[in-house]
Amino acid sequence: MHRIAIIGASGFTGAEFLRLCAGHPEFEVVVATGESQAGTCVADLYPSLAAAYPEMVFAPYDPSILEGIDLAFMGLPHGHSQALVPQIRGRVPHIVDLSADFRFDDPAIYPEWYGEAHAAPDLLGDFVFGMPELFRDRLPGAELVAVAGCYVTTASLTLAPLLAAGLIEPTGIIVDAASGVSGAGRPPKPNTTFCAVDEDFTAYGLLTHRHTPEIEFAIGRHAGTEAQVLFTPHLAPMNRGILATCYARATTATSTEALRDVLHQRYDGEPFVVVRDIPPSTKATLGSQQVHVTAWADDRTGWVVAMASLDNLTKGASGGALQAANVALGLPEATGLPTVGLHP
């Protein structure tokens, strides 16, 4: 049994960590921190977790609470992990970080896309990118894992095989994606209240969204080429889920069958990726670790349309972190992860 700490457990991704760890036969959550909720019972903030954690209380963070911990999941906002990882490293054998703080090995990316210099640039090269379907070979035994984000996972899993196979151009790729409101986190914001979101559909972060270089990095690194992406995220009036519609120029005349053949060849052996012949839906993946992907070739325009859907809190965040942790710890990759979605 591996003793687990969740640093930043009071947010939505933290609650998802707690939910998934409760069903993991090899994980025991020993510590759950939450600065804004310190002293609050987990069951009071999230009644859905009452049966699994009836006595657990969110604790304030202190490095001393990590004594005897085997793995720390970090579910903190961007910027916070940069300060904590140098404190935690050496105390805990494995750290799996959900934030964007360590996804790149080039510190120059951070001031350009995140607005400030990286606080621990010397650690960037030590992290492994946590997307097993594309970068599994570096994960076994990894001490430090930076998990791909929800938008990045969705877009990359549908585009990367097509780019690697030479079926689409590496430049001029368009990613048009919509996310549920839980992606904005638990603390209320003026643009994420019920009255703001209900009956509305909005774009945000146009041209400058920080997940743009992450998508370029993931698909380009997997395919062994430089990639260029125009990414536009949208906020959809739903709790959970992401749907990404991606457009790329075909390198040569191709067919829908050829595109899907590549996706099948890449993913038919994967436990959490399903290649479909119909457009994916967010509800089909709700509460599960599944990603649904597909693609079409448009003979008339010469464009390829590739689509994917997933649950932004499960596969797109905490479930993705558990999957990467399983690989790092040498456990069966699918351990503790739901493969069937909720419906209705």
Euclidean distance between CA atoms 209 and 81, whole angstroms: 20
Do 266 and 172 share a structural domain? yes
Do 191 and 95 share a structural domain? no
The rounded percent of the chain whose pLDDT value lies above 90 is: 92
Peptide bond into 344 cis (omega under 30): yes
Give the residue numbers spanning the domain of 216: 151-311
Do 168 and 102 share a structural domain? no
Which CATH number fits the domain that encloses residue 247? Answer: 3.30.360.10
Average pLDDT estimate for 15-24: 97
Do 175 and 226 share a structural domain? yes
Do 183 and 99 share a structural domain? no
Do 279 and 198 share a structural domain? yes
Locate all alpha helices (DSSP H) within 185-305, ordered by sequence. 194-197, 211-223, 256-267
DSSP assignment, residue 59? B
What pLDDT was estimated at residue 318?
98
Do 71 and 165 share a structural domain? no
Euclidean distance between CA atoms 244 and 337, whole angstroms: 23
Average pLDDT estimate for 134-159: 97
Euclidean distance between CA atoms 24 and 249, whole angstroms: 42
CA nearest neighbour of 309 among 332, 285, 329, 276: 285
Average pLDDT estimate for 262-268: 98
> Are the C-beta atoms of 115 and 132 separated by less than 8 Å?
no
Do 160 and 108 share a structural domain? no
pTM of the model: 0.96
Query: 211-260, pLDDT tens digit by residue?
Result: 999 999 999 999 999 999 999 999 999 999 999 999 999 999 999 999 99
Query: 114-125, pLDDT tens digit by residue?
Result: 989 999 999 999
What pLDDT was estimated at residue 78?
86
- Would you place residue 186 in the very low, low, confident or very high pLDDT band (cuts 50, 70, 90)? confident
Within-domain flag for 7: yes
Do 233 and 189 share a structural domain? yes
- E-strand stretches of the chain: 2-7, 27-32, 71-74, 94-97, 128-130, 144-147, 173-179, 202-203, 229-235, 242-249, 273-275, 291-298, 303-310
Whether 188 shows a pLDDT value over 80: the answer reads no
Within-domain flag for 205: yes
Within-domain flag for 132: no
Which CATH number fits the domain that encloses residue 66? Answer: 3.40.50.720
Mark residue 134 as left, alpha or beta (left: phi above 0; alpha: psi -120 to 50; beta: remaining).
alpha
Within-domain flag for 328: no
Query: 58-92, pLDDT tens digit by residue?
Result: 999 999 999 999 999 999 988 899 999 999 999 99
Within-domain flag for 137: no
- Would you place residue 13 in the very low, low, confident or very high pLDDT band (cuts 50, 70, 90)? very high
**What residue has token string 């930076």?**
146
Do 281 and 246 share a structural domain? yes
Euclidean distance between CA atoms 7 and 35, whole angstroms: 9
Query: How many structural domains are present in the chain?
Result: 2
- Would you place residue 11 in the very low, low, confident or very high pLDDT band (cuts 50, 70, 90)? very high
Single out the catalytic residue among 21, 150, 195, 246. 150
- Would you place residue 191 in the very low, low, confident or very high pLDDT band (cuts 50, 70, 90)? confident
Tokens of 283: 């509800």
Do 155 and 120 share a structural domain? no
Could you confirm whether 41 is annotated as catalytic? no
Euclidean distance between CA atoms 62 and 58, whole angstroms: 12
Within-domain flag for 51: yes
Do 181 and 272 share a structural domain? yes
Euclidean distance between CA atoms 225 and 302, whole angstroms: 21
